[in-house]
Amino acid sequence: MNMVNFTVIRAKSCYNTILGRTTLNSFGMVIFTSHLCAKFPTSSGVVTIRGDARQANRCFQIAAQLVVDQLVLRESQLVVPQEGVINVTLGGKTLLNL
């Protein structure tokens, strides 16, 4: 029997578990991404874990919205001029030298 240690984190994510290749290989798992399914052997036979296409699509939409929200938040933050910033013009374009 294989045992795996997990690190539990608090994060907004559409994933409930992330398994690396080493873990997948140690369990003898085979992943069928296009079928949203994984199979692995047990002492009682082969176990099949099936995904849900609608749920996977919804998770993707939520993850994409999180990225968009973060970009909007960054764009809405004001830039405050700092001391020591010098405007430099090069080839007709104004650049900042930090």
DSSP per-residue codes, 15-52? -S----HHHHHHTT-EEEGGGTEEEEEETTEEEEEE--
The pLDDT tens digits for 34-75 are 888 999 998 999 999 998 889 888 888 988 888 888 877 776
pTM greater than 0.75 (yes/no): no
Q: How far apart are CA 68 and CA 70, in angstroms?
A: 5
Residue 93: the pLDDT is: 72
Residue 77: the pLDDT is: 67
Instruction: With cut-offs at 50, 70 and 90, classify the pLDDT of residue 9.
Output: confident
Q: Is 54 helix (H, G, I), strand (E, B) or coil?
A: helix
Residue 1: the pLDDT is: 65
